Amino acid sequence: MKKLPIFLLSFLLFFMAGCKNNSNEVVVYTSVDQVFSEPVLKRFEKETGIKVNAVYDTEETKSTGVLNRLLAEKDNPQCDVFWSGDPVRTIVLKRRGVTAPYVSPQAQGIDPVFRDPDGDWTGFSARARVLLYNKNMLQGDDIPRSIFDLTKEKYKEQVALANPLFGTTTFHMAALFTVLGDEKARQFLAALKENGLVLASSNGDVKKRVAQGEVACGITDTDDAFEAMKEGDPVGIVFLDQEGIGTLIIPNTVNLIKGAPHPGNGKKLIDYLLRPETEALLARSCAQMPLHKGVKVPEDVPSLDNIVPMKIDYEKTAQKLEEIQSYLKTWTKQ
């Protein structure tokens, strides 16, 4: 067989690459629970005809698996869109040069505090960090109202928290360090450990332990808490520190990847995720709170208008998240 001339071979390779980049698909990596994110992506696929190739994080390595994958693929991006369960890891990616700016028209109406000033990410559909407690074990004045109550003797060995090296618990720890300062945050975490804190493998594990009465209460996200309530477990929730530092609000974020293989389809997916209709869907499926005003939600989904939020700077919190990783690794092993 005769060898193809170099110029013809180059043309064919360029043509095939062009076909690949223009293919009718989009690649999304997400740290949002598959049970909640997959139905949204399937609806997008059905409504647009664009095939979605999704990579999901596991519950135990939540937010770190796809984050590390995106960092490893920086010089050869395989992903178009990152749908994150929190803004901090998206900001880490921005700092490392992995994200690309895209301001979606669907971002109109979302408070600027939940949007990157450079357009590298946009927030939507928020969760909150809440106390989930077992009603058979805690009632009335015995129910904690502040995260700092959890260090009291009466809650010894009765409080669960997910491993802070993963997921939204990492974000929560970084936020506390940002708000309290390093010294007070370390004192608080030391007091939790001294009080017999139970380290769970995930937020879902916290939910299970509280529902089954293994512990009296635990810190988790609103989606896990409301799922327990839907399942009929004897549990209640508390938005903590409403007269203090406030409750941590955790918006989803979505961003375009720099050098994405399918940037056009990536932008279409971002537009779809930021629609009020998608926020309404997530409110129904996992009690997430819309960031657009006027979105109809189930009666049991709380409104952000009625919650005192923790006042944090997401950029500073992202920086703090990276700074405290070594400390958190040591703390979990103590």
Domain harbouring 105, CATH code:
3.40.190.10
215 — pLDDT class (breaks 50, 70, 90): very high
Note whether 48 and 75 are within 8 A (CB): no
Give the C-alpha separation, 58 to 61, whole Å.
5
Give the C-alpha separation, 233 to 283, whole Å.
20
* Mean pLDDT to the nearest integer, 28-34: 93
Q: Which domain holds residue 122?
A: 24-126+250-302
pLDDT higher than 80, residue 1: no
For the chain, what is the domain count?
A: 2
User: 79, exposed or middle or buried, with CB in 10 Å at 0-12, 13-18, 19+?
Assistant: buried
Assess whether 242 and 198 both reside in one domain: yes
Using alpha carbons only, what angle is made at residue 184 by residues 221 and 312, rounded to the nearest 5 degrees? 50
Assess whether 148 and 223 both reside in one domain: yes
pTM of this prediction? 0.80
Assess whether 186 and 243 both reside in one domain: yes
**Does residue 307 lie within any of the structural domains?**
no
**Does residue 13 lie within any of the structural domains?**
no
For 289-316, the pLDDT digits (tens) are 999 988 988 888 888 888 999 998 888 9
**Does residue 6 lie within any of the structural domains?**
no
- Nearest Cα residue to 93 out of 74, 108, 109, 110: 74
Which segments of 198-322 are extended strands (E)? Answer: 198-200, 217-221, 235-238, 249-257
**Is the sign of the CA dihedral 307, 219, 255, 15 positive or negative?**
negative
Assess whether 178 and 235 both reside in one domain: yes
Give the C-alpha separation, 199 to 195, whole Å.
12
Assess whether 169 and 196 both reside in one domain: yes
What are the Cα distances from residue 213, in Å, to 7, 132, 227?
71, 11, 16
Percent of the chain with pLDDT over 70: 91
**Does residue 262 lie within any of the structural domains?**
yes
**Does residue 149 lie within any of the structural domains?**
yes
Q: How far is CA 238 from the centre of its chain?
A: 20
* Mean pLDDT to the nearest integer, 190-203: 96
